[in-house]
Amino acid sequence: MKIALLFRNLRTGGAESQFAQIAEALALRGHEVHMMTFLPGGVFWDWLESQGHVHLSALFEGNPNQSLGPRTRLKVVPRLHRRLQEIEPDVFYSSNPLIHLVAWGAMRGLPNIHPVWGVRSMMPWEHWNIAAAALAAAPLSRRVPAMVYNSRVSIPSWRRAGYRPQREVFIPNGVDTAVFRPSPGGRRALREAWGVGDEETLLGMVARFAAEKDHVTAVKALARVLPRHPELRVAMIGPDRDLSMEGVRQLATELNLEDRFLWIGPRRDLPEVYSALDGSLLTSWAEGFPNTVLESMSCGTPVCSTAAGEAPYIIGDHGVVVPPRDVDALADGIERFLPLLATGALGRAARLRAQEMFSIERLVLRTEALLADPRGCPLDPQGVPVVDTVPHSA
């Protein structure tokens, strides 16, 4: 199969990471994969280039941090059209509403290419330029064989915007379980660095400080739990994106809990971070597909989460799920969660679920099945492409 993928750039980001891994894995499975971007460069461009299996091409010269000028933007569609004529792909997978519109224009006069659209968020009403492109693309969606969502909770927002693809397909994100795996050495090193003893229980929240992550509800719920559990400490891990961290810290201080919290900030060594925790928390009131839940489970660290986005689907029966924005429910959920951490059995079950249902291998096979037959590949009751069982790493 000859596959073309279009992304604006491959600088950094979760979506870019997932698409780069998909492209590389599909190439290793024998497909001819062409990854196209507006501009060259970026973390994942460099990674794909170093692997040497995916055909990389940029429509323009420059660097991925640049913005295209007005005159250059007028050249995007004709240049992409010529590139598609050269490649002659069987299927063309594009990644967001603006890209969908560009891709559709470039495919005019090329009837043998099957378009597949993907979205990874709710309908972006808050971004006027992307929303305008999405509304312009909506009528075209009726002629698209399949539209891929990584979260079912986002589908109604796209329907309300007028999207009616021939098939709505749910392909959950994947995690590299060989990277996100238990790290005993990392656990020891970080707990020692953070001053956390072996006899203490460490819960952690790996999330940027932003309103929808609802750290405030987390602190208020923990204020009810911590006095009953002198062995319990809590690590807050993540960047301060909207200057809300100081307010959360102030709340913890007002509740006389400052000495029970660790304010870690952003970290890149996430497998070691998750391994250092005995359990993870997520208290969001809005999510799509929360990767932090999946990453934590893959590292053998179970999760207590609010029922935001696909968190309940990811966790299944191998953690605790509570309603969002409910301090009492979260406090009760944490109380139920803590005894489950004693033996490590819940963490092992959580990792097994991540391996069996959400591995990168399974993500790739689901994507491959859809791209091979966008109109006819079988879907399970959740709308997920059906694939054979795949082996997983230990």
The per-residue pLDDT for range 98-113, each reduced to its tens digit, is 899 999 999 999 999 9
Q: Do 165 and 206 fall into the same domain?
A: no
Q: Which of 4-13, 39-48, 293-302 has the lowest mean pLDDT?
A: 4-13
**Residue 128 exposed, middle or buried by CB count within 10 Å (0-12, 13-18, 19+):** exposed
Question: Do strands 201-206 and 232-237 pair parallel, antiparallel, or not at all (unpaired)?
Answer: parallel
The per-residue pLDDT for 389 is 58
The per-residue pLDDT for 67 is 87
Using CA atoms, how far apart are residues 254 and 263, in angstroms rounded to an integer? 16
| 393 pLDDT more than 80 | no
**Per-residue pLDDT reduced to its tens digit, 274-322:** 999 999 999 999 898 999 999 999 999 999 999 999 999 999 999 999 9
Q: Which of 37-41, 96-100, 176-180 has the lowest mean pLDDT?
A: 96-100
What is the DSSP annotation of 322-351?
Answer: E-TT-HHHHHHHHHHHHHHTSSSHHHHHHH
**Per-residue pLDDT reduced to its tens digit, 334-372:** 999 999 999 999 999 999 999 999 999 999 999 999 999
| 242 pLDDT more than 80 | no
Domain for residue 93, yes or no? yes
Q: Do 114 and 198 fall into the same domain?
A: no
Cβ-based neighbour number of residue 378 at 10 Å: 10
**Per-residue pLDDT reduced to its tens digit, 108-153:** 999 999 999 999 888 888 888 888 989 999 999 999 999 999 999 9
Domain for residue 12, yes or no? yes
Q: Do 363 and 350 fall into the same domain?
A: no
The per-residue pLDDT for 116 is 97
User: What's the average model confidence in pLDDT over 37-46?
Assistant: 95
The per-residue pLDDT for 70 is 87
Q: Which amino acid is at 83?
A: R
Quote the percentage of the chain above a pLDDT of 90.
85
Supply φ then ψ for residue 170, to 5 degrees. Answer: -105, 115
CATH of the domain at 367: 3.40.50.2000
Using CA atoms, how far apart are residues 316 and 196, in angstroms rounded to an integer? 30
The per-residue pLDDT for 227 is 97
Domain for residue 170, yes or no? yes
Q: Do 314 and 240 fall into the same domain?
A: yes
Domain for residue 384, yes or no? no
Using CA atoms, how far apart are residues 93 and 356, in angstroms rounded to an integer? 26
Query: Among 282, 278, 203, 275, which residue's Cα sits nearest to residue 235?
Result: 203
Q: What residues make up the domain containing 126?
A: 2-174+359-372
The per-residue pLDDT for 243 is 63
**Per-residue pLDDT reduced to its tens digit, 44-94:** 999 999 999 999 999 999 988 888 888 999 999 999 999 999 999 999 999
Using CA atoms, how far apart are residues 91 and 116, in angstroms rounded to an integer? 7
| Structure tokens given for 258 | 């400052």
Longest dimension (CA), the chain: 69
Could you give the 3-state DSSP secondary structure of residue 371? helix
Domain for residue 15, yes or no? yes
Which has more pLDDT, 13 or 389? 13
Q: Do 201 and 334 fall into the same domain?
A: yes
Using CA atoms, how far apart are residues 57 and 36, in angstroms rounded to an integer? 5
Q: Do 12 and 125 fall into the same domain?
A: yes
Q: Are 97 and 119 in contact (CB under 8 A)?
A: yes
Q: Do 134 and 276 fall into the same domain?
A: no
Q: Do 258 and 150 fall into the same domain?
A: no
| Structure tokens given for 22 | 């998909």
Total structural domains within the chain = 2
pTM, entire model: 0.89
Quote the percentage of the chain above a pLDDT of 70.
98
The per-residue pLDDT for 394 is 53
Q: Do 147 and 238 fall into the same domain?
A: no
Q: Do 203 and 106 fall into the same domain?
A: no
Q: Which amino acid is at 318?
A: H
Domain for residue 180, yes or no? no
pLDDT band at 95 (very low <50, low <70, confident <90, very high): confident
The per-residue pLDDT for 12 is 82
- Helix extents (H) in the chain: 14-28, 43-51, 70-73, 76-87, 97-106, 128-137, 155-160, 184-194, 215-225, 245-254, 270-276, 291-298, 311-315, 327-340, 345-357, 360-372
Q: Are 322 and 334 in contact (CB under 8 A)?
A: no
pLDDT band at 96 (very low <50, low <70, confident <90, very high): confident
Q: Do 7 and 75 fall into the same domain?
A: yes
Q: Do 211 and 327 fall into the same domain?
A: yes
